[in-house]
């Protein structure tokens, strides 16, 4: 059963011309627990329809008094524009409890180097990780490489500068700007794989097993940062990536998917009940199930949160790449219905 909480907005801060941070009051009793790097799902009522959107938490547990998310206005983005234009202090918004696997568990006894690569609003979960490390891991250091268009588009610019002053020996702050203008203390351009080794020369080098890398931002930037780290021979197990959306299907995937797109009969088993219905060619399995009024777990609808995970026990489905399931889970028959289409009739899917 989904855990829903109603939170009160206590502040709305304009971070840049197209980004705001919404601060919620933590409940006095039963405070919302979360781990640095997780996201909060807002249930936003627009014209009588509740729409779910995931926003990474920029607040840090046991550091910040409020629980907060950052929303960047997206062109034609229904929810982001609604929140940007209407949310105000005193509003109450329903949320799902924090989720997500892009996390860093603070350890007061740990001694490590946390290296962060971010761009644009991808700073949001990284900011939570950064603060948690600085305040809760006194023996650890943090290096942030942060890409933006120009100085005016830097989210948390003043807060980052203040943290740099407070933790001058433990925080390395490196900006990468496409249009630096008069701001000279930065690299010019975008995050590029060939530049990653150059960036890393600017920060202390710790042992491989003592260094963790976290990447979040636009898809292209994340790919460049990841490939750049591979050029530096960073082992894959030390690289953590947060995707705000699954990458679009490749031409080959679209061709493969198109070959199988037909109306299919499927069966879903959930909470002891069995439901048979047709999945239309234009719909994924989760969309079809929701159209049938099934109350299944879901959040992102894009394969990045894993909350709709289920198991195929009969038949075959096609699942887009770029999801959060592990190879082991896929081998065991688990899927994310939000990015799946049935390939055969008589597909049977079971929810735990």
- Structural domain tally of the chain? 3
The boundaries of the domain holding residue 122 are 113-242
Per-residue pLDDT of 242-251, as tens digits, reads 876 555 555 5
pLDDT given at position 252: 58
Considering the chain, what is the average pLDDT of its residues? 92
Task: Out of 129-143, 272-286, 328-342, give the one with best mean pLDDT.
Answer: 129-143
Question: In the chain, pLDDT over 70 holds for what percent of residues?
Answer: 94
Position 183 scores a pLDDT of: 85
Residue 247 has a pLDDT of 56
* Together in a domain, 236 and 256: no
Its pTM stands at 0.84
| 346 in a structural domain | yes
Is 125 within 8 Å of 132 (Cβ atoms)? no
Examine the domain organization and report whether 217 and 124 are in the same domain. yes
pLDDT of 51 > 70? The answer is yes
Region 49-77: mean pLDDT is: 95
Q: Is position 158 within any domain?
A: yes
Q: Taking residues 119-141, what's their average pLDDT?
A: 98
257 and 179 fall within a common domain = no
Domain endpoint, select from 70, 99, 128 = 99
Whether the per-residue pLDDT at 142 is higher than 90: the answer is yes
Mean pLDDT of 306-310: 91
| Alpha-carbon distances of 37 from 177, 218, 228, 229, 250, rounded to whole Å | 24, 16, 22, 20, 28
Percent of the chain residues topping a pLDDT of 90: 80
pLDDT at 206: 97
Boundary residue ending a domain (99, 127, 142): 99
Between 198 and 305, whose confidence is greater?
198
**What local confidence, expressed as pLDDT, does residue 324 receive?**
78
105 assigned to some structural domain? no
Q: For residues 66 and 45, state if they share a domain.
A: yes
Q: Look at residue 328 and tell me whether its pLDDT is greater than 70.
A: yes
Quick one: pLDDT at residue 189? Answer: 95
Mean pLDDT to the nearest integer, 112-139: 98
The domain that holds 32 is classified in CATH as: 2.40.30.10
**How far is 253 from 321, CA to CA, in rounded Å?**
8
Residue 276 confidence (pLDDT): 96
d(CA 48, CA 34): 30
Query: For residue range 68-101, what is the model confidence (pLDDT) as tens digits?
Result: 999 999 998 999 999 999 999 999 999 999 998 8
The predicted pLDDT at position 156 comes to: 98
The answer to the question of residue 106 being in a domain is no
Residue 326 lies in a domain: yes
- With cut-offs at 50, 70 and 90, classify the pLDDT of residue 269: very high
Q: Does 87 share its domain with 119? A: no
pLDDT tens per residue, range 29-43: 889 999 999 999 999
The pLDDT, as a whole number, for residue 184 is 83
> Is residue 159 located within the same domain as residue 55?
no
Task: Tell me: do 117 and 238 sit in the same domain.
Answer: yes
231 backbone φψ class: left, alpha, beta (φ>0; ψ -120 to 50): alpha
Q: What ranges in the chain are assigned the alpha helix state H?
A: 78-86, 123-136, 157-166, 196-200, 219-231, 251-260, 285-291, 327-331
pLDDT single digits (tens) 175-227: 999 999 988 889 999 999 999 999 999 999 999 999 999 999 998 999 999 99
Sheet containing 264-270: give its strands across. 273-279, 264-270, 347-350, 310-314, 334-335
């Amino acid at each position: 059963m989904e855990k829903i909480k109603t939170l009160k907005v206590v502040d709305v801060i304009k971070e840049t011309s197209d980004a705001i941070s919404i601060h919620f009051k933590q409940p006095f009793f039963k405070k919302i627990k979360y781990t640095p790097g997780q996201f909060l799902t807002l249930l936003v009522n627009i014209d009588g329809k509740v729409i779910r959107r995931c926003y990474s938490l920029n607040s840090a547990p046991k550091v910040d008094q409020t629980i907060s998310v950052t929303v960047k206005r997206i062109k034609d983005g229904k929810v982001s524009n609604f929140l940007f234009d209407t949310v105000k202090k005193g509003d109450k918004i329903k949320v799902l409890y924090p989720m997500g696997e892009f996390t860093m568990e603070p350890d007061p006894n740990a001694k490590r180097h946390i290296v962060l690569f971010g761009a644009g609003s991808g700073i949001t979960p990284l900011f939570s990780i950064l603060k948690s490390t600085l305040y809760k891991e006194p023996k650890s250091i943090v290096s942030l490489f942060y890409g933006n268009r120009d100085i005016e588009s830097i989210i948390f610019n003043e807060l980052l500068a203040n943290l740099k002053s407070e933790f001058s020996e433990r925080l390395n702050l490196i900006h990468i700007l496409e249009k630096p203008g008069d701001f000279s203390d930065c690299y010019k351009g975008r995050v590029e794989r060939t530049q990653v080794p150059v960036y890393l020369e600017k920060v202390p080098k710790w042992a491989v097993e003592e260094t963790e890398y976290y990447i979040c931002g636009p898809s292209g930037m994340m790919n460049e940062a990841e490939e750049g780290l591979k050029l530096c021979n960073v082992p894959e197990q030390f690289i953590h990536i947060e995707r705000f959306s699954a990458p679009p299907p490749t031409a080959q995937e679209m061709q493969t998917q198109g070959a199988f797109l037909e109306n299919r009969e499927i069966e879903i088993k959930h909470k002891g009940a069995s439901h048979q219905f047709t999945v239309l060619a234009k719909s994924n399995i989760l969309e079809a199930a929701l159209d049938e009024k099934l109350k299944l777990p879901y959040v992102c609808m894009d394969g990045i949160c894993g909350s709709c995970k289920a198991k195929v026990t009969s038949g075959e489905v096609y699942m887009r790449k770029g999801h959060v399931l592990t190879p082991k889970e896929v081998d065991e028959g688990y899927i994310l219905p939000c990015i799946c289409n049935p390939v055969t009739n008589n597909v049977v899917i079971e929810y735990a």
